[in-house]
Amino acid sequence: MKVIGICGSPRRGGNTEFATQYTLDRIAEKGIETELIRLVDVNVRYCTACYDCVREKRCTINDDLEEVFQKIEAADGLIMASPTYHASVTPLLKCLMDRLGFSGRWRENAMVATDKAYQFKGTPFSGKVGAPITVARRAGTTSAMSDLLLWFTVNDFITVGSGYWPMILAGKGGAIDAEKDTEGLGHLEHLAENMANLILKLKS
């Protein structure tokens, strides 16, 4: 069993990375393997709407997308975490979401004529457990979380929640101080518990 945590922040060692790793560490305590992927360390370009993935059953842009895709496909759960940029996710994470979602859909499905509806056959992510985390200095976290939740649900993940939306308030003046939001960390702990327990149940 394995959970991938994707940190969508362009800043290494920042508040979003702390929140992601903190949640992964709590999941690891349940005996589940974890891996942190920092998007700042990989090269994932934006979707060009070329539609090659419909024919080739994979994205044909030559970058690191396929490596990340295969890691998620092999895992049982996925956490996507982002700092809040103008009430949304970062460009780094949005590029990944677009590429994963669009190319993933056509790996299992076939596009049909515009006057017909295709028969949905699932995606490589179907049945996996997903959870969002957002971070902000003050506000915008809920709309950024909506972006992530909409992505998880349209890509056929089973989404988990916590006792409150899993978000961290940190970064006033650019500070790296996520550990001070003890209430937020408590929600991440419960998120990790819910995610780990669900994966264990699904695999039993």
Residue-wise pLDDT for 73-132, tens only, equals: 999 999 999 999 999 999 999 999 999 999 999 998 888 877 877 788 899 999 999 999
pLDDT digits (tens, 9 = 90+) for 6-41: 999 999 999 999 999 999 999 999 999 999 999 999
CA dist 125 to 30, 135, 163, 183, Å? 22, 25, 25, 31
CA separation (Å) from 76 to 2, 4, 109, 196, 201? 5, 8, 21, 10, 12
**Is the pTM higher than 0.85?**
yes
CATH number at residue 45: 3.40.50.360
Number of domains present in the structure of the chain = 1
Residue 25: which domain range? 2-203
